[in-house]
Structure 1
């Protein structure tokens, strides 16, 4: 049987079903080490994760497009032609969200009308993962237009949270979070416009990094027109995993340059990172002053305590202009939705998603030209104030949401609760408006789902976010293995 002790993999011959069960428990880092040492073949790892998909699907409706034949063919070819120098993700089983182009498959984005046209080439993030050696074992579900904190759509139905099927697995990368939480791949691609990496990771006790704006190239070759300007400046690509070490493993692979994205940014950091700088971490439980759930507060307290144990100096701070930042995010996004997306939503979206959009347009009224330009100018003021805060602290620990994970499809089934939902999620909107990196890390084994926090950094200080979040994770030493939804 395979066992893992301190990251070392011990292989025995005559692999049995229990061996395959052990493989899916390995982290991405552990799997990479086992593959590098030759203790296990790529085909064995791939087969174990595909078997896990077969065990869990279609029940969870997370991996909605399994790629067994292509994945096994790739794995066997990799074993037969093993390179001398292995790329960082060589042989690692991953999933891709169904809202980016994937050659030979559709990019429906949760919309039946778009589930027909076949993509002719990969999006840059897919190319980077493939170039890094990853084996794509399937594609994951997303809500219509990827505009919700809940994952269900008319094509594949509701994605279930493997911890508690009555709660959301998050959105819009809810298929990704559900998949990786129960071992269907060691990491899962996702993206984030208003929290769509951080909230799904939070909803399954997972780990992620919302990279700085421009850090990871983004583009869909099949798109009939360019992404609207505000999506260009607020939406990013990344991965969800079960540990911060696994997220870090993917980081250099994801951020490789692509000429498809002229907005890609190669800056190594914010320019303020110095080895001799104080290891000072800010923290804030309630930047909006509206109160948070008691378990959410405990998750922040656990993170602060762990950061202190790891050698950081915790400093309580009040993030500047937080409420205005969240409101500005909504005004800018909804102005763009009305001008550039609303016609398509009305035409192709379900009645439920159109009702949600109506509520959102009331909460964040679209602006006229003067209002749009004023909001854009105000964004720069807020960015400057947050940059000044990061002159004093290396990173900021704060909640992902003011509430534990919400009920599945709560926005559709209880439309009167949408204002409260958006109020709870403001913690994430600030990072999107300002283009900041933010890691999500588990810090509290609450019931029924573990909770975590965000570690937010200055623009381009992604590595600092990873460093702080990984130090917190290391000090807390929680069980981050996959769960069995059966």
Structure 2
């Protein structure tokens, strides 16, 4: 029964709890048992708050028995990325400089999860200040992929992705600036979505007006992701770019999704001009084309936005400086990734930034025209397979050397640059049994549409559970 509960979806667990078929304490125990069995070899959860979670689970059980009105996530365990502040729970940002930091307030996204009834179970591993698309740091070490522990789960929300993929938690919070929700979801065979900036309040991020880094859900199903998304979206007075979603419930829309009739979908194998491994391209193309079976019109087209790579690097550089402004006097104490990012940012000139913003505006208009013709853009989420965990990042695609250490994630970060929502959903598996994700991109505020198509993809292309779960 214990393993059985930890393998149920968040939607199933919420229903079982609400109908008193299982108690929140039983659900918690099931996930704690999975953590005890799986986490030591994968290192996804780095701070576990078992006692506090148990007290909250007992309170959640009492609320059910009293007949209280329950939140959408009532009694569901959730894990939080270790760059997101949690009241009374150590938050290290993956940095030795903050290894003993215990916040006195929750981030707004955590408050919202708790308000919906979720039980915070622990913190998940991340590279230092989320700078990197692999998941390791000098505080907690490396996180490993549940499909093959010798490989990387990607990053920077790698711990969150591994925790969900293995049944340590039904839901996890992540953040995404370059690819940090989408790539780990792809590498771990689950669902992750980067919402439209402003939908999920960023407080207390240092750059309050920043449309780059956003909070979003990682889940095993599209409907679970929609369930969590509903709980963390909405207007907030403490976030200056906050907006309310133009839909009442993403979960309700996704639950009702039956087909893709009338949808116009474009498949592009490489929007960034970096190449893609043939097997990945083949899997992603076939999955995109299979949406025709659900009623969509699908075309493969050329759509190159590689001229956004330079503008993204300029923006990212200034963002890194702004994020770490209060820590600049300790720059040499940072790890190599974070230190290099900040130093690159210090070299960005006003002219660089002006030119990048001009190009960015042009690219957004290119997308605006694209979305007049198509409802969704589908691409491979990653151009490469999961790489060895010891590698900081891939350096080659199809034998061609990459110019920049972030180039391999360009197909993701160019979507960030455009302030568009996008998510990853499993499309199939490689010949050696590793999951491959497709990225589904839509116009701003079309998260329910993206998740609905993800649901259809999951129904027709299930990848199952990883062997180390």
Partner of 2:216: helix, strand, or coil?
strand
2:320 is matched with 337
Counterpart check, 1:374 vs 2:355: yes
Q: Distance in 2 between matches of 1:79 and 1:286?
A: 49
1:245 matched to 2:220: no
Give 1:328 deviation, angstroms.
1.3
Aligned match of 1:34: 16
> Are the aligned partners of 1:310 and 1:472 in contact in 2 as well (CA < 8 Å)?
no
CA deviations over 1:159-213 (Å, ceiling 9, x no partner): 1111111211111101111111111100111000100000110111111111011
Asked if the contact 2:428–2:463 (Cα under 8 Å) also holds between the matched residues in 1, the reply is no
Instruction: State the distance in 2 between where 1:354 and 1:245 align.
Output: 35
Alignment of 1:73-222 (within 5 A): 73-82=55-64, 83-220=67-204
Question: Hey, what does 2:331 align to over in structure 1?
Answer: 346
TM-superposed CA distance for 1:23, in Å, is 0.8
**1:60 corresponds to 2:42:** yes
Partner of 2:385: 404
2-side partners of 1:345 and 1:313: how far apart? 54
Tell me what 1:306 maps to: 290
Counterpart contact for 2:264–2:376, Cα < 8 Å: yes
1:294 aligned partner: 278
Residue by residue, what CA displacement relative to the aligned partner does 1:320-346 show, whole Å, maximum 9, x if unpaired? 5x1012321112111343566383662
- Distance of aligned partners of 1:148 and 1:313 in 2 relative to their CA distance in 1, 3 Å threshold: same
Q: Determine the structure 2 residue equivalent to 1:463.
A: 448
Size of the aligned set, in residue pairs, is 451
Cα offsets for 1:398-417 (capped at 9, x unmatched): 01121112221412798997
Distance 1:384 1:425, change over 3 A: same
- Structure 2 distance, partners of 1:417, 1:151, is 22
Contact 1:216–1:264 (Cα < 8 Å) also in 2: yes
Instruction: Show the counterpart of 1:10.
Output: none
Match of 1:219, SS state, is coil
Between stretches 191-200 and 309-318, larger displacement belongs to 309-318
Q: CA RMSD in A?
A: 2.7
Q: In the alignment, what sits opposite 1:8?
A: none
1:227 pairs with 2:207 = yes
* 3-state SS of 1:327 partner: helix
CA 1:354 to 1:69, structure 2 compared with 1: closer, same or farther past 3 Å? closer
2:443 equivalent to 1:449: no
Q: Is the 8 A contact 1:207 1:243 kept in 2?
A: yes
Deviations 1:76-108 (A, max 9, x none): 111112244332111111100110110012322
Flag the 1:289–1:154 CA change in 2: closer, same or farther, 3 A: closer
SS at match of 2:298: strand
Partner of 1:7: none
Which string of whole-angstrom CA distances, capped at 9 and with x for unpartnered residues, describes residues 439-462 of structure 1?
Answer: 210011222421110000111111
Q: Unmatched 5+ residue regions in structure 1?
A: 1-18, 270-274
Per-residue CA distance 1:246-292 (angstroms, 9 max, x = gap): 111112111033222121112517xxxxx999411111112244431
TM-score, normalising length: structure 2: 0.89
CA contact 2:273–2:306 (8 Å) conserved in 1: no
- Relative to the length of structure 1, the TM-score reads 0.86
Say if 1:368 and 1:117 are closer, same or farther in 2 by CA, change over 3 A.
Answer: same
Whole-angstrom distance in 2 between the partners of 1:292 and 1:84? 52
**Alpha-carbon distance between aligned partners in 2 of 1:135 and 1:186, rounded to the nearest angstrom:** 11
Partner of residue 326, structure 1: 309
Counterpart Cα distance in 2 of 1:412 and 1:286: 19
Distance 1:373 1:207, change over 3 A: same
Unaligned stretches of 5+ in structure 2? 248-256
Alpha-carbon distance between aligned partners in 1 of 2:435 and 2:261, rounded to the nearest angstrom: 33
1:388 aligns with 2:388: no
Q: 1:207 & 1:397 partners in 2: Cα distance?
A: 15
